[in-house]
Amino acid sequence: MGVKTTAQIARENQVHPLLVTQWKNLLRERMPELFERGGRPAAEDSEKVIAQLHQKIGQLTVDLDWLKKKCKQLGLSLHDES
């Protein structure tokens, strides 16, 4: 917007000026997308992320249960057995 120079922004945020330039270019390229969706992620994108997170939680739960079983078989104790 011309309010501050790239160097001023970089100095204030303790980043390299090239990074500020890259951010500005990315914002210019993607700005129309932000306004098309009203600045909010599409509902299907949110649902996809939620589904991926649920899948990851399930996998981590299975892994934890397996590790607990193996530790018990080996006679090892876990510090946090919940």
The whole-number pLDDT of residue 39 equals 52
Measured distance CA(77)–CA(82) in Å, rounded: 12
Residue 38, pLDDT > 90, answer no
Residue 51 and residue 31 in one domain: no
The whole-number pLDDT of residue 1 equals 63
Residue 71 included in any domain: yes
What is the domain extent for residue 80?
42-82
Residue 32 and residue 47 in one domain: no
Tell me how many domains the chain contains: 2
Phi and psi at residue 12, to the nearest 5°? -65, -35
pLDDT of 25-37, one tens digit each? 998 888 887 777 6
Residue 32 and residue 62 in one domain: no
Residue 1 included in any domain: no
